[in-house]
Amino acid sequence: MTANDVRRVEKSRKTGETSIDLVLDLDGTGQVDVATGLGFFDHMLTALGRHGRFDLKLQCDGDLHVDDHHTVEDCAIVIGEAFDEALGERRGIERFGYSYAPLDEALARVVVDLSGRPAPVIDLGLKRDMIGDVACENLHHFFVTFANRARASVHVDVLRGDNDHHRIEAAFKALALALRGAVSRDGTSVVPSTKGVL
């Protein structure tokens, strides 16, 4: 990857459950315009884009009359695939990234490897069934699906926190910061792997 490469992707996904349009720019400034019909999920995706300094525009019309599952899952699919496509051959990137992010009493740690091999390991430690209009099991599912579709190892551990809102928001912010480090350019066009491919 050279300094002139544009890492911007436009994607659409239409199914019987959701209709999603997305624009992602890995080299943005954190401009975010997200509307999924799920207020808390919008808040988390805004944190992901803002703190990762990714420009993210996402519109999702989902079958919320059923529940929130398809909307959260399909957004994770599209965002993960957009990261994968934007990275191309993954030349000239740092590849690895990690971050700790606090939110008041909560503390999250995220470590990522843009290895081309999906490996989600997620421990959020949430106690509530719902946060806002989103099921906590689907927030867990977001991280799993994102890692699978981005073809990345993603380790998320919320180390402490009494408030589940704080715990999950710290996790999204830590993911944003870890991804920011991993996608950063290293000034070369080398694939960061002993294999020569990722």
Q: Return the H-helix or E-strand segment holding 136.
A: helix 136-150
Please give the pLDDT value at position 20. Answer: 98
Question: Taking a C-beta distance cutoff of 8 angstroms, is the pair 100, 108 a contact?
Answer: yes
pLDDT of residue 47: 98
8 Å CB contact between 116 and 158: no
Nearest to 26 by CA among 90, 102, 105: 90
Q: Which residues contact 133 (CB under 8 A, 6 or more apart)?
A: 38, 39, 40, 41, 68
Options 3.40.50.150, 2.60.120.10, 3.30.70.100, 3.30.230.40; CATH of 8-183: 3.30.230.40
- Cα 128 from Cα 135, distance rounded (Å): 9
Contact 2, 189 (CB under 8 A): yes
Q: Is the dihedral of CA 15, 25, 121, 90 positive or negative?
A: positive
25-65 pLDDT tens trace: 999 999 999 999 999 999 999 999 999 999 999 999 999 99
Residue 79 phi/psi, 5° resolution? Answer: -65, -45
Low-confidence ranges of the chain (pLDDT < 50): 1-4
Q: Percent of the chain scored above 90 by pLDDT? A: 93
User: How far apart are alpha carbons 22 and 33 in whole angstroms?
Assistant: 10
The pLDDT value recorded for residue 1 is: 40
> DSSP letter at 51?
H
Give the domain ranges of the chain.
8-183
